[in-house]
Structure 1
Amino acid sequence: MDDNDEDNERFVRLLRQVFRFLHLVLHVLAGVFLTAILVGLQRRATDPSYRSLKRWWLHRVVKIIGGQVSVYGEPAPVGSLLASNHVSWLDIPLLGGQTELTFLSKSEVKDWPVLGWLAAKSGTLFIERGKRDGAKGASECIAKRLEQQERVLMFPEGTTSDNKNTLPFHARLFAAAVTAQAPIQPVAIHYLNMQGQTHPLVPYLTPQTLMQNLWAILAEPKILIEVHFLASIDSQSVPRKALATYTEQQIRLALRLNSA
């Protein structure tokens, strides 16, 4: 490739980034406007109109950034706890665009400009990381939502991994499924490039900022995404550590990873 071709390619990537970023900003503003209307009408996050808006909005985020999603399996029924590997901030709009979900997030997200407000108004459960009773309180809240027949999503790794492997699953929050006698559905996510290889740019890892990660993703022509909704696990009378281990194993198998 000569210098002119490289310059042209950089220019095309820049145009793609700018166009998608502006599109995404407009989409966020539309989400704020529509959410404000529903809040003004005193609609709750569990209201069907609110849920439909949330799912549409999240689905569009993935489309705007160039995601092409292939789904395998079906989401578990309401009242189930979904446990997924965690690669990127993109996991949330990805899964939320597939089915109605209640999200579990770190408490710091509440302080994010605009997005924190949207998350809070959409019924997100927030966990105080680092606090002694933070996981216990979150587990109790999850169990309550499961008993109310909500479908709750959590990321048991507690942070993002590199899209090549998974981190050990923390067992504490699996207690919520045991308490509510709710099934657990493992969910496996894998991001690929145009050549079908593990995508190196999607993982959102320290010390990268959210904006740096977003800007890199926006330059990509297309991101291939695989979502595997796996067979549900009966949580009754099973220790939470065993549930966490088995869930992690099933996700690793779906991603064709060797057991640690």
Structure 2
Amino acid sequence: MKKLRLYLRMLHLLAIIGLVTLLAGLVSLLERLLRHDLMGLRQRMSRWFFARMSNALPFRLSVHGELPQEPMLWVSNHISWTDIPLLGMLAPLSFLSKAEVRSWPLAGWLAHQAGTLFIRRGAGDSSLLNQQLGHHLGQGRPLLIFPEGTTTDGQVLRTFHGRLLSSAIESGVALQPVAIRYLRDGQPCMITPFIGDDDMLSHLLRLLASDPIDVQIRLLQPIASTTLNRNQLARRAHAAVASALAVDSETQARAA
């Protein structure tokens, strides 16, 4: 029965990926013909894809809080690659990702087509990157980043790095803190975290073969960026997410 469930979920997911690959190719061709950036269309297409991808995964989703009615810089804790489709289905978002993802077969191309911005670790170009993020936000395009800079097992919350929050201040947009967690029988799920030396295919197969997993997403009170510096913003967002996850922010910040 488990194998049948795995195969059916795999077929469902492959069908969705095949369809969105075709659509992304058509949008890319249309952009070239029109010589015009269709980011808004790509974001809406990505949201459509993420919603169907999330439905193909073994998740039971509950969302608490209100979706922002204006463009914001979303900041969330980070547990797995599955955070992206689950959060991306809520609103037409772009994401900030590590540069290595750009070279992943198919997934990297799809991420690029979805409007993902890529960052190279240790490149020392945070000023230029903040300008790019600010330009993106300034055009009214919501953006989500994971300020921990890495994934965790969901039982700790690492320090939020503030260097990329300058883009929110310079663009005059608020922060939208988000808390996400995965539960099985009321306890943190140990299948979902994508950490360490785990590889994408093995993780996906384990996930597709698993029993349903509860996902809780909390959209927290937005934080105005106009009166705070980037480090103050980072600490405020970190404390809000830590509180929502029932994690002690000061202890975890020192441990990070």
Residue 172 of structure 1 is matched in structure 2 by: 163
Structure 2 CA distance for aligned equivalents of residues 45 and 68 of structure 1: 32
**Residue 60 in structure 1 maps to residue 49 in structure 2:** no
**Residue 156 in structure 1 maps to residue 140 in structure 2:** no
**Residue 46 in structure 1 maps to residue 39 in structure 2:** yes
Give yes or no for contact 1:45–1:123 (8 Å, CA) kept in 2: no
Give yes or no for contact 2:182–2:192 (8 Å, CA) kept in 1: yes
Structure 1 CA distance for aligned equivalents of residues 20 and 199 of structure 2: 23
Structure 2 CA distance for aligned equivalents of residues 180 and 74 of structure 1: 22
How many residues of Structure 1 are paired with residues of Structure 2 in the alignment? 246
**Residue 188 in structure 1 maps to residue 174 in structure 2:** no
Give yes or no for contact 2:71–2:140 (8 Å, CA) kept in 1: yes
Identity of aligned residues (%): 35
**Bigger Cα Rg:** 1
Give yes or no for contact 1:85–1:155 (8 Å, CA) kept in 2: yes
1:15 shift after superposition:
2.0
For structure 2, the 5+ residue unaligned runs are 252-256
**Residue 108 in structure 1 maps to residue 100 in structure 2:** yes
Give yes or no for contact 1:188–1:229 (8 Å, CA) kept in 2: yes
**Residue 239 in structure 1 maps to residue 229 in structure 2:** yes
* 2:161 aligned partner, one-letter code: H
| 1:49-94 superposed Cα distances (whole Å, 9 cap, x missing partner) | x333211111111110121110001222333100000000000000
* 2:9 aligned partner, one-letter code: R
Structure 1 CA distance for aligned equivalents of residues 43 and 234 of structure 2: 29
Secondary structure of the structure 2 residue equivalent to 1:113: coil
Residue 211 of structure 1 is matched in structure 2 by: 201
TM-score, reference length from structure 1: 0.90
Which of 30, 33, 48 pairs up with 2:22?
33
Residue 83 of structure 2 is matched in structure 1 by: 91
TM-score, reference length from structure 2: 0.92
Give yes or no for contact 1:45–1:122 (8 Å, CA) kept in 2: no
Residue 140 of structure 1 is matched in structure 2 by: 131
Residue 77 of structure 1 is matched in structure 2 by: 69
For structure 1, the 5+ residue unaligned runs are 1-11
**How well do the aligned residues superpose, as a CA RMSD in angstroms?**
1.4
Secondary structure of the structure 2 residue equivalent to 1:227: strand
1:196 shift after superposition:
2.0
